Structure 1
Amino acid sequence: MRLQKAWPAVMAVLGAVGLAGLLALMFTPLSRSLACWLAGRDWSSMDAAARSAAVGQVRLAVVQAVAGVGAGIALIYTARSYRLSRRGQVTDRFTKALERLSSDEPYVCIGGVLALEQIVQDAPEQGWHAARVLNAFVQHHTQPAGAPGGLASVQLPEEPDEMVQEALRALTTPGSRRRKGSWPPVDLAGRHLAKACLLEADLRGALLKGAALRGAVLCRARLDGADLTDADLVRADLSDARGLTVEQVLAARALRDCVLPEPVRSDPTVVERVGRGE
């Protein structure tokens, strides 16, 4: 492992030594031989001054070539050093954001969410990791969706905490998901998210099985391929939701007073089920 890390530096040193050796050889009789070879048959007809000028031109060309190669090596090494430095800075920022998320103070946690969001903007390749952290944060700070009427449901909060809501926004904002080519599916299965604000949220492929979304706002949300099996959508606002199908809606556990987009709400099966107060 150490040899692998040191290999680029070793190669750079060997390259520099090789170029320096080549440059030194050009100021030996080797340069005259090279000039003679390049001149070919014209060498024999040259006088002393012309031969001296030809040797000087060869040396100048070699010096310029060595300088160009050396500059290229230096540029590559500088770029590599920059990438390593930048990676270290991103890692340090990520670590500090995690420390904020573990705080007991809500405003500090919100600062951690905003820090992760900024990291994704500056370093899109960290989007996958940031999304996993935010998803775990939401799951940790929300409760399981209790059975309606059970003892657990009495203790459930009426709406998500401000820090949870901020994490949901950062996790489902369309801008962040477009910025990364790969983004893990949002996993909110079985979580209590009553009255959560998911306005224009990107929930494509989201895992919402068994989630309690009573009174949640999902206006203009993207729900292509989202799993709504056994989800509680009572009084949820899904107006103008995109990618929502009749099959997804019928898979939900409860639809009473749920606002659905056209043409889903006009489907006879959906109309019948909503009419029964389910």
Structure 2
Amino acid sequence: MAAPGPPIQPDRNRPSAWILGPRISRAGADHDSPSLMATPRYGPGRSVTVEIVRYWRAFSQIIVAGFFQIILVWLGLVPLLGLGWILGPGAAWVLEHFDGVRGLTGKDLAAATDAVRGRALAIATGLIALGAVYYTARNADTARQGHITDRYTKAIEQLGSDKLDIRLGGIYALERIARDSARDHPTVMEVLAAFVREHSRDVETDETRDAMKATPRRSGLRTDLQAAVTVIGRRLVGQDSPDVRISLARADLTLANLVRMNLTGVNFTGADLTGADLALAGLTLADLTGADLTGAKLTLADLTGADLTGAKLTGANLTGVTLTRAMGLPAHLRSVPGEKTGATEPLEVPGAE
């Protein structure tokens, strides 16, 4: 019997497959992956120290959560104990220790005692009502978040399907989640961007050919990829994460339809935008470092503060493009006065080195 070979090491350069679904690599190898794969939480490359820190952090969170639960319980018990005391001997104690009501007897004492207890009941009723409102709102929020989580899980499963219509349903379901839940908006956009990055360079198969046939002529992308990019382009930019850019780095967006899309701050580093239609697109602060914009249409696009270092602009149409504070511009664009190029005809731009 042959000796076992060395253990197979994971490919650290291969992206996680949790949202990739069935795909074909550049080499044409069939990975035979299920439609939805889970990213391993504990990879062989992680150190013991990292795992210890992670476990300790989780343990600390549990301790803190338990501490706050105890505080909440006591905050609930104290008013109840106080109410019981007032309804019992506490009313008499109040009457004995406050000036103006001390020394009452007979009917006057009984009336004063009832008044104290009545006010205590009114205050307790108000506190109970406030507590009920708080817990109702908290339970409603928990239920809402659980519902959103279920929707998100289902949408991710749809995104990994091998059927075009199901993938489209997953994409638009994720868009709805992003609009319904501001806290999930950045995550949804990262998922859609990763979907575009990983699938835009897939080797063409029978299924992707069908998707291309279903794509409108104005776009060269597959229908599902164009849909994902469109969702990113009409997102609520104000809900983007301030710390993480949406990344379409090295994505193949050849002939993509990006007209009027809001792509503010998107990372297009090394992306292939050959022949893409970016007319009237918002590319403020976008990172286009090393992007291929050969033959792209940038008519009236806003590239304020964008980084064009090393971008290829051969044959790009830059009519009326806004380049205020743009970085890495070729020499002939740096010499153009004003905020825009001011061109009235398409500029045939040599490639920037």
Question: Which TM-score band applies after superposition, normalised by the shorter structure?
Answer: 0.7 to 0.9
Aligned residue in 2 for 1:149: none
The 8 Å contact of residues 128 and 183 in structure 1, kept in 2 or not, is answered as no
Q: Distance in 2 between matches of 1:183 and 1:198?
A: 24
What's the % identity of the aligned pairs? 26
Q: Distance in 2 between matches of 1:235 and 1:171?
A: 23
Letter in 1 for 2:267: L
Given candidates 162, 185, 189, the residue that maps to 2:223 is 162
Listed as ranges, the gaps of 5+ residues in structure 2 are: 1-58, 203-211, 213-218, 324-329, 337-346
14-23 vs 94-103, greater mean Cα deviation = 14-23
Aligned residue in 2 for 1:251: 310
> Is 1:43 paired with 2:102?
yes
> Is 1:89 paired with 2:150?
no
Aligned residue in 1 for 2:29: none
Say which structure is richer in helix: 1
How many residues were matched structurally? 259
> Is 1:34 paired with 2:34?
no
Given candidates 254, 269, 272, the residue that maps to 2:332 is 269
> Is 1:67 paired with 2:67?
no
| RMSD, matched Cα | 3.1
Q: Distance in 1 between matches of 2:140 and 2:306?
A: 52
| TM value normalised by structure 2 | 0.64
Q: 1:276 to 1:130 in 2, by over 3 A?
A: closer
Measure how far apart 1:93 and its partner are.
Answer: 0.8
Q: Distance in 1 between matches of 2:80 and 2:305?
A: 70
Q: 1:57 to 1:236 in 2, by over 3 A?
A: same
Q: 1:13-162 residue pairs with structure 2 within 5 A?
A: 14-38=74-98, 40-44=99-103, 46-143=104-201, 159-162=220-223
| Structure number with bigger Rg | 1
> Is 1:197 paired with 2:257?
yes
**Corresponding residue SS for 1:43:** coil
Measure how far apart 1:179 and its partner are.
Answer: 4.1
Measure how far apart 1:35 and its partner are.
Answer: 2.0
Q: Distance in 2 between matches of 1:268 and 1:30?
A: 87
Q: Distance in 1 between matches of 2:348 and 2:88?
A: 99
**Corresponding residue SS for 1:251:** coil
Measure how far apart 1:53 and its partner are.
Answer: 0.9
